[in-house]
């Protein structure tokens, strides 16, 4: 029996195409929601069936403040009990979350085959992003099957000594294509909106500077309408009143479908998100990456992304130039889930 494990919104987004393919092929599987993230996942939970197992109860009650260590311990403890009670042959994890690392670790201890979706992404800097870089490196070493999304990630895995590596593309392209068709998402001919998102832990200490920089950009470009769905993290929320530019619109967090609509209707993006770099490429949108490093260099190689650190204003001229014309996203062809399920079924 296969177990598909997820605990955050990005994991559901990138695993629901795999779940649909498991259903389509009649492959036996169960799903697990760890409860790692309950405030941002409600809008995507319907993309997957109701979970067969849930650890959400461990994240409720009086002790709602969870450090990285507390979350890891809670998930590991609950996973150990689950694996003792049920016999799984494979646990599928995605990306670099606490959920993915905890399930991979406990799966390994229980001699359950670990299949790592989106394996091999690297910045080679354990502080950026933190703790995700460490999580994905560790998972790659434990995994029995590593599904690399790109040639670069495949090479990273080979150099690290990881085993059973398959380059299959990124399931986010599958997800965007499915949703684009089901919700008929399209880009306007002359978009004037700029989507902005900032939330990464390594940017929390400079969030005030980043918000001031955004204010400067918005004042300098009054014809553009900046939309910032503000992250619920208090380290981000406390700076929201720094914006004074009339064309800087701070809104509540939006659901995933609405986020894709914003991407489709945007002229370009300003973000420190990893996933948005991939999703922007599906709509052929340029991205100013508010980070010092990226584990997705393909977006830069394709001419759609630029690392800007804190220097957002200085790079607006580049992003307003003619966009690169991509025939397809550098992250995949929308058939990743088919390959993943086929390989898992055929690999013993």
Can you tell me the mean pLDDT for 285-293? 95
At 328 the pLDDT is: 81
Does the annotation count 132 as an active-site position? yes
Write the CA distances from 278 to 110, 118, 160, 200, 242, integer angstroms: 34, 12, 24, 16, 29
What tens digit of pLDDT does each residue of 209-253 get? Answer: 999 999 999 999 999 999 999 998 889 999 888 888 999 999 999
Look at residue 326 and tell me whether its pLDDT is greater than 80.
no
One of 199, 239, 291, 296 is an active-site residue; which one? 199
Write the CA distances from 211 to 129, 238, 270, integer angstroms: 20, 11, 12
* Position 176 in a domain: no
* Position 111 in a domain: yes
Contacts of 96 (CB under 8 A, 6+ apart): 118, 121, 129, 132, 133, 135, 136, 139
What tens digit of pLDDT does each residue of 116-157 get? Answer: 999 999 999 999 899 999 999 999 999 999 999 999 999 999
Which two three-digit tokens encode residue 326? 């991509």
Query: What b-and-e string marks burial along 129-156, b requiring 16 or more CB atoms within 10 Å of the CB?
Result: bebbbebbbbbbbbbbbbbbbbebbbeb
Residue 258, judged by CB atoms within 10 A of its CB (0-12, 13-18, 19+), counts as: middle
Q: Which residue has the tokens 């959400």?
A: 56
Look at residue 62 and tell me whether its pLDDT is greater than 60.
no
Are 129 and 226 found together in one domain? no
One of 11, 21, 118, 298 is an active-site residue; which one? 118
Query: What b-and-e string marks burial along 185-221, b requiring 16 or more CB atoms within 10 Å of the CB?
Result: beeeeebebbbbbbbbbbbbeebeebbbbbbebbeeb
Q: Are residues 164 and 347 in contact, defined by beta-carbon separation less than 8 angstroms?
A: yes
Look at residue 20 and tell me whether its pLDDT is greater than 60.
yes
* Position 327 in a domain: no
* Position 325 in a domain: no
* Position 324 in a domain: no
* Position 326 in a domain: no
Are 131 and 56 found together in one domain? yes
Are 311 and 340 found together in one domain? no
Does the annotation count 118 as an active-site position? yes
Does the annotation count 96 as an active-site position? yes
d(CA 208, CA 157): 37
Are 18 and 148 found together in one domain? yes
CATH number assigned to the domain comprising residue 105: 3.40.50.2000
Pick from 23-37, 143-157, 311-325: least confident = 311-325
d(CA 104, CA 142): 7
Are 10 and 123 found together in one domain? yes
Are 23 and 161 found together in one domain? yes
Are 119 and 97 found together in one domain? yes
At 109 the pLDDT is: 97
Are 249 and 166 found together in one domain? no
In sequence order, what E strands does the chain have? 2-6, 29-33, 53-54, 90-94, 113-117, 145-148, 165-167, 193-197, 225-229, 248-251, 266-271, 286-289, 305-307
Are 79 and 205 found together in one domain? no
pLDDT interval class at 40 (50, 70, 90): low
One of 43, 80, 201, 204 is an active-site residue; which one? 201
* Position 175 in a domain: no
pLDDT interval class at 21 (50, 70, 90): very high
d(CA 332, CA 112): 28
At 321 the pLDDT is: 87
Are 147 and 195 found together in one domain? no
* Position 221 in a domain: yes
| Closest alpha carbon to 119 in 70, 76, 170, 71 | 170
Q: Is the alpha carbon torsion for 21, 22, 23, 26 positive or negative? A: positive
One of 11, 132, 272, 298 is an active-site residue; which one? 132
Are 12 and 145 found together in one domain? yes
> Residue 131 sits in which domain range?
2-170+333-346
One of 180, 204, 216, 231 is an active-site residue; which one? 231
Q: Are residues 31 and 48 in contact, defined by beta-carbon separation less than 8 angstroms?
A: yes
One of 11, 21, 96, 174 is an active-site residue; which one? 96
Percentages helix, strand, coil for the chain (3-state, rounded to 5) are: 45, 15, 40
Give the number of C-alpha atoms closer than 13 A to the C-alpha of residue 284, restricted to the C-beta side: 12
At 199 the pLDDT is: 92
| Count of structural domains, the chain | 2
Does the annotation count 63 as an active-site position? no
Which two three-digit tokens encode residue 145? 């099957």
Are 123 and 37 found together in one domain? yes
């Amino acid at each position: 029996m296969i177990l598909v494990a997820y605990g955050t919104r990005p994991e559901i987004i990138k695993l629901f195409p795999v779940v649909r393919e498991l259903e389509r092929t009649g492959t036996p599987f169960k799903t697990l929601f760890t409860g790692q993230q309950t405030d941002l996942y409600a809008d995507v939970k319907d993309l997957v069936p109701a979970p067969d197992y849930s650890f959400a109860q461990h994240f409720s009650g009086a002790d709602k403040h969870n450090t990285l260590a507390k979350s890891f311990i809670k998930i590991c403890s609950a996973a150990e009990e689950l694996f003792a009670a049920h016999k799984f042959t494979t646990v599928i994890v995605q990306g670099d979350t606490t959920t993915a690392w905890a399930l991979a670790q406990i799966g390994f201890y229980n001699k359950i085959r670990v299949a790592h979706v989106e394996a091999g992404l690297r910045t080679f800097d354990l502080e950026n992003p933190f703790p995700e870089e460490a999580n994905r490196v560790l998972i790659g070493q434990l995994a029995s099957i590593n599904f690399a999304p790109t040639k670069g990630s495949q090479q990273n895995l080979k150099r690290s000594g990881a085993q059973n590596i398959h380059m299959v593309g990124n399931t986010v392209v599958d997800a965007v294509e499915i949703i684009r068709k089901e919700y008929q998402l399209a880009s306007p001919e002359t978009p004037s909106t700029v989507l902005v998102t900032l939330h990464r832990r390594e940017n929390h200490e400079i969030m005030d500077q980043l918000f001031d920089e955004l204010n400067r950009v918005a004042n300098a470009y009054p014809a553009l309408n900046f939309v910032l769905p503000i992250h619920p993290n208090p380290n981000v929320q406390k700076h929201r009143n720094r914006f004074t530019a009339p064309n800087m619109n701070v809104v509540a967090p939006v659901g995933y479908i609405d986020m894709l609509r914003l991407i489709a209707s945007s002229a370009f993006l300003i973000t420190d998100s990893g996933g948005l770099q991939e999703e922007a490429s599906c709509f052929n949108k340029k991205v100013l990456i508010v980070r010092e490093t990226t584990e997705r260099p393909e977006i830069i190689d394709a001419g759609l992304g630029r690392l800007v650190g804190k220097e957002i204003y200085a790079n607006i001229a580049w992003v307003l130039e003619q966009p690169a014309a991509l025939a397809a996203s550098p992250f995949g062809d929308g058939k990743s889930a088919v390959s993943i399920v086929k390989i898992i079924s055929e690999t013993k």
